[in-house]
Structure 1
């Protein structure tokens, strides 16, 4: 069913576009969830995987002597395991 309104979100701000009146209204600010976007954790939280220099690394959590283990070597700019800031460098 067409309602005449298109609702969308950019960053944390919601917008509503009225198709018939051709007007855009800024809506509410949607609180962003605090999420760790740079790492993923094992189900038991003992290891984490993260992207660095466009490749994936594994590291044990909670061990001061833990070192990064590089898992991939094929990551490159625009074809990266890293989807944020790293592709802009």
Structure 2
């Protein structure tokens, strides 16, 4: 499911040079699953703590800016960070 290239998701493009430039510049796309969870990579285990915090902060701010104007109530209820096969660690996002 969702593995085929699709113009909607940006995996098919006629502007190859632009797409390569965006990827090299660090473009990251995130998706929301059926339960409302957002899955997005913020780094690797080998990254320094400061870099992971910077990436997390940037990602979190981007998600809050993407909040639809029609969305009411609490937009982000809780946050957890995990490695690929590791346990989730809750994060105080305030």
Give the TM-score category using the shorter length: under 0.3
The structure with the largest strand share of the pair is 1
The structure with the largest helix share of the pair is 2
Specify the structure having the higher radius of gyration (Cα): 1
TM-score, with normalisation over the residues of structure 2? 0.25
TM-score, with normalisation over the residues of structure 1? 0.26
